[in-house]
């Protein structure tokens, strides 16, 4: 469904994403609660990040783990970005969104053999592994795939040099996710002292180990956490004799506290470009923003269904639940909550979800005017790990998703009903 709208049809609080009249129209049209994405704002953020890194051999890959809606992935594709995949499911969504396998980088953990075979069958050519065991499994699967082209009676050990070379020429690029002391106590990655064993594994199957992937950690807003380690990462990468690409991040944060510390893309891009250029060799650079690119373009709209007071504190019940937001360990436990109601006095307010779960708070100690049943609230910055981490906890179906773009709004994911709770159950 498309409906023409005017995003400037009234004045509104500058901290809110759009006007109250539009919010009301959206809920009337699509129901509540509702995820609303602003396509124009997403494109602006993509452009800002892209321009910040001037190194000419840079490839941007959106971390689709943060949001897998096909309509949004297509915006990244039209902006010239590829995808970064943590799981086979990420790859599946990317292919369905129209990305070529060559535009998808896999950097995940702990695949079993069937999953590894699926990734290779899909034609993914750039893969970063976080353990020697996963690298060895890939090499075994790679040999099995190569052996399939031989006669039925051939064994893996009889793989001809010609066939090995043909598979090598398929442009498969292998990298290691590196575990450095600078990243703290992390389960992710291969230690530099394990590089020799990794090189030996890939050499046996006729492949090069040409990439290094640096992952700083989830949601880091401190720019220095990335820039201070650039030299260490580059020195470490040169321990790989066939080094040809650097995958630098994941982990870029987003300032959920508006006005708080924010990642400085311009500073990061300038320093990374200068350091790589200084090497004097042609290295491909991959950057994998996820949360930083998509968090700010989305709002979760909900309606007030209950109001009560505890002394001077306002307790608001709404028609959504904390199950529709990511867990605090991922986003820090804070989202800005706003409304369009004008009032001279504000009150300390808790926003409670529509369950009896004692921790079902969508906001605590918010400063809001006195609200009434039917009023609309907006929970900001839910584009990353919002719908992607929503669940059926306490058996609530998930909301719909809507995209605002080019003066229209349209449905990009249907609202679930209670039948989803029976999906895949065996009813005898």
Task: Give residue-wise pLDDT tens across range 101-123.
Answer: 999 999 999 999 999 999 999 99
Alpha helices in 111-152 (DSSP H): 113-121, 132-147
**Neighbouring-strand partners of residue 286:** 59, 247
Average pLDDT over residues 190-215: 95
Q: What is the largest CA-CA distance in the chain?
A: 83
Alpha-carbon distance of 354 to 360, in angstroms, equals: 8
The confidence band for 148, taking pLDDT boundaries of 50, 70 and 90, is: confident
Say yes or no: 106 and 14 in one domain: no
Cα–chain-centroid distance for residue 57?
23
pLDDT at 350: 95
> Looking at the 3D structure of the chain, how many domains does it have?
2
Say yes or no: 243 and 94 in one domain: yes
> At a CB cut-off of 8 Å and minimum separation 6, what does 202 contact?
135, 139, 174, 208, 209
pLDDT at 328: 66
Say yes or no: 228 and 350 in one domain: no
Domain C-terminal end among 294, 313, 336: 294
Task: Give residue-wise pLDDT tens across range 305-355.
Answer: 999 999 999 999 999 999 888 766 665 678 899 999 888 899 999 999 999
pLDDT at 158: 52
Question: Could you tell me the residue range of the domain that residue 325 belongs to?
Answer: 3-38+296-413
Domain C-terminal end among 271, 294, 317: 294
Average pLDDT over residues 146-164: 54
Given a cut of 80, whether residue 159 has pLDDT beyond it is no
Would you say residue 17 lies in a domain?
yes
Q: Kindly state the tokens that stand for 193.
A: 């002292």
pLDDT at 407: 86
pLDDT at 331: 59
Say yes or no: 286 and 380 in one domain: no
Would you say residue 151 lies in a domain?
yes
Q: Choose from 176-190, 320-334, 355-369 the range with maximum mean pLDDT.
A: 355-369
Task: Look at strands 284-287 and 245-248 and give their pairing.
Answer: parallel
Given a cut of 60, whether residue 160 has pLDDT beyond it is no
How far CA 259 is from CA of 253, 256, 336, 386, in Å, comes to: 14, 9, 12, 21
Alpha-carbon distance of 253 to 66, in angstroms, equals: 12
SS3 assignment, position 128: strand
For the packed helices 230-237 and 265-278, what is the interaxial angle rounded to 10 degrees? 40
pLDDT at 10: 29
Given a cut of 80, whether residue 169 has pLDDT beyond it is no
> At a CB cut-off of 8 Å and minimum separation 6, what does 415 contact?
30, 31, 397, 398, 399, 400
Would you say residue 213 lies in a domain?
yes
Average pLDDT over residues 282-290: 96
> Using an 8 Å Cβ cutoff, are 345 and 321 in contact?
no
The confidence band for 3, taking pLDDT boundaries of 50, 70 and 90, is: very low
Would you say residue 420 lies in a domain?
no
pLDDT at 329: 60
Would you say residue 419 lies in a domain?
no
pLDDT at 150: 56
Average pLDDT over residues 395-416: 96
Given a cut of 80, whether residue 94 has pLDDT beyond it is yes
Peptide bond into 364 cis (omega under 30): no
Q: Residue 4 phi/psi, 5° resolution? A: -70, 135
**Mean pLDDT in the chain?**
89
Say yes or no: 209 and 307 in one domain: no
Residue 218 buriedness (CB in 10 A; 0-12 / 13-18 / 19+)? middle
pLDDT at 292: 95
Task: Look at strands 298-310 and 376-380 and give their pairing.
Answer: antiparallel
Average pLDDT over residues 278-292: 95
pLDDT at 192: 94
Given a cut of 70, whether residue 163 has pLDDT beyond it is no
Cα–chain-centroid distance for residue 381?
13
Say yes or no: 327 and 265 in one domain: no
> Using an 8 Å Cβ cutoff, are 404 and 35 in contact?
no
CATH number of the CATH domain containing 346: 2.40.37.10
Would you say residue 350 lies in a domain?
yes
Task: Give residue-wise pLDDT tens across range 209-265.
Answer: 999 999 887 778 899 999 999 999 999 999 999 999 999 988 899 998 888 789 999
pLDDT at 6: 31
Task: Give residue-wise pLDDT tens across range 220-235.
Answer: 889 999 999 999 999 9
Percent of the chain's residues with pLDDT above 70: 89
pLDDT at 235: 96
**Neighbouring-strand partners of residue 342:** none
Say yes or no: 9 and 46 in one domain: no
Say yes or no: 24 and 115 in one domain: no
Element housing 34 (H / E): strand 34-38
Would you say residue 340 lies in a domain?
yes
pTM reported for the whole predicted model:
0.91
Alpha-carbon distance of 129 to 247, in angstroms, equals: 12
Average pLDDT over residues 353-371: 92
Say yes or no: 72 and 21 in one domain: no
pLDDT at 370: 96
Domain C-terminal end among 294, 318, 351: 294
Say yes or no: 12 and 46 in one domain: no
Average pLDDT over residues 5-9: 31
pLDDT at 330: 63
Say yes or no: 333 and 219 in one domain: no
Would you say residue 77 lies in a domain?
yes
Cα–chain-centroid distance for residue 70?
13
Say yes or no: 78 and 167 in one domain: yes
> Using an 8 Å Cβ cutoff, are 307 and 79 in contact?
no
Total residues found in the chain within this entry: 428
CATH number of the CATH domain containing 107: 3.20.20.10
User: Of 277 and 167, which is predicted with more confidence?
Assistant: 277
């Amino acid at each position: 469904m498309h409906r023409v709208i005017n995003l400037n049809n009234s004045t509104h609080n500058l901290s809110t994403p759009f006007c109250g009249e539009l919010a009301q129209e959206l809920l009337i049209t699509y129901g509540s609660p509702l995820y609303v994405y602003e396509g124009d704002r997403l494109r602006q953020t993509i452009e800002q990040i892209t321009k910040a890194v001037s190194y000419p051999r840079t490839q941007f890959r959106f971390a689709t783990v943060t949001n897998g809606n096909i309509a949004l992935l297509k915006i990244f594709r039209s902006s010239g970005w590829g995808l970064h995949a943590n799981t086979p499911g990420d790859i599946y969504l990317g292919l369905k969104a129209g990305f070529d396998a060559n535009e998808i980088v896999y950097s995940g953990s702990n695949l079993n053999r069937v999953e590894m075979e699926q990734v290779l069958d899909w034609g993914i050519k750039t893969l970063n592994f976080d353990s020697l065991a996963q690298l060895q499994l890939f090499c075994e699967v790679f040999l099995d795939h190569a052996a399939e082209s031989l006669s039925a009676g051939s064994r893996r050990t009889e793989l001809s040099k010609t066939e090995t070379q043909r598979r090598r020429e398929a442009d498969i690029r292998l990298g290691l996710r590196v575990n450095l002391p600078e990243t703290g106590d992390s389960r992710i990655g291969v230690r530099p002292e394990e590089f020799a064993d990794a090189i030996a594994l890939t050499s046996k199957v006729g492949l090069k180990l040409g990439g290094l992937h640096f992952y700083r950690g989830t949601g880091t807003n401190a720019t220095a956490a990335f820039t201070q380690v650039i030299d260490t990462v580059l020195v470490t990468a040169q321990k790989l004799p066939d080094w040809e690409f650097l995958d630098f991040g994941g982990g870029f944060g987003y300032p959920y506290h508006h006005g708080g510390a924010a990642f400085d893309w311009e500073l990061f891009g300038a320093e990374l470009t200068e350091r790589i250029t200084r090497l004097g060799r042609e290295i491909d650079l991959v950057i994998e923003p996820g949360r930083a690119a998509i968090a700010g373009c989305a709002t979760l709209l909900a309606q007030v269904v209950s109001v009560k007071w505890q002394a001077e504190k306002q307790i608001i019940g709404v028609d959504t639940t904390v199950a529709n937001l990511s867990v605090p360990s991922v986003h820090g436990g804070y989202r800005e909550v706003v409304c369009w109601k004008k009032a001279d006095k504000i009150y300390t307010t808790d926003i409670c979800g529509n369950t009896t779960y004692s921790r079902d708070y969508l906001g605590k100690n918010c400063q809001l005017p006195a609200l009434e049943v039917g009023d609309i609230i907006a929970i900001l910055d839910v584009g990353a790990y919002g719908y992607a981490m929503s669940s059926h906890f306490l058996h609530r179906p998930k909301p719909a998703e809507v995209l605002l773009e080019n003066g229209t709004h349209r449905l990009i994911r249907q609202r679930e009903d209670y039948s989803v709770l029976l999906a895949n159950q065996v009813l005898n």
